[in-house]
Amino acid sequence: MRADGTIGNALYGNPDGHGKRSRAASLALRGRSMVSKKVATSGFERSASMAFKTITVKTENEQQMIDITQQVRLVVRESGVKSGVCRIFIPHTTAAVTINENADPNVRRDILTRLEQVAPSDGTYLHTEGNSHAHIKSSLVGSSVSVFVEAGQLVLGTWQSVFLCDFDGPRTRNVMVRVSDG
């Protein structure tokens, strides 16, 4: 639920359709847009030691892994939860969320390249919208992750960051974050 009280289609309506731009000519795995990505937060709600918030991320490549750890850390801090769990959920069927190395951007490129070999974006599929590869990658990587919260902080390994994976961008993607002491 957002701060304005809306939920459902108003918030998540057609999450795989809006914000879609014309498909660029080639698969962009370069991740060069990391610098210019725009991340906005909205819809904050807090009750006792709990927070539910939707982060909006504008992706800029067809396939891209964007580090959203700082945005997630902010939600954890605002939640007031000292010890608990932070869950991240992607309400899209051609995107995913994963935790992996944040140091060398080549790791992200290698992940996207191998996923592309498993499900090529120019492969043959029954689904005729041209993004079946993205649906497949979404189920392989997964739509949610959980990270522990201790001492009011997200508990990640030194090299770990949380990444939104957009397999059918560029689009405006929603990332739902829930922090609780449960």
- At a CB cut-off of 8 Å and minimum separation 6, what does 61 contact? 24, 28, 29, 30, 31, 33, 166, 169, 170
CB of 91 to a second copy, least distance (A): 3
Q: Cβ closer to a second copy: 36 or 158? A: 158
Q: Which has the closest alpha carbon to 87: 137, 123, 51?
A: 51
Side chain identity, residue 115: L
Which of residues 22 and 158 has its CB atom nearest to a second copy in the complex? Answer: 158
Positions that interact with a second copy (CB under 8 A): 1, 7-9, 12-16, 47, 50, 52, 83, 85, 87, 89, 91-93, 98-101, 104, 106-107, 109-111, 113-114, 117-119, 125-129, 132, 135-136, 138-148, 150-151, 153, 155-160, 174, 176, 178, 180-182
- Least Å from the CB of residue 179 to a second copy: 11
Cis ω for the linkage preceding 105 (within 30 of 0): no
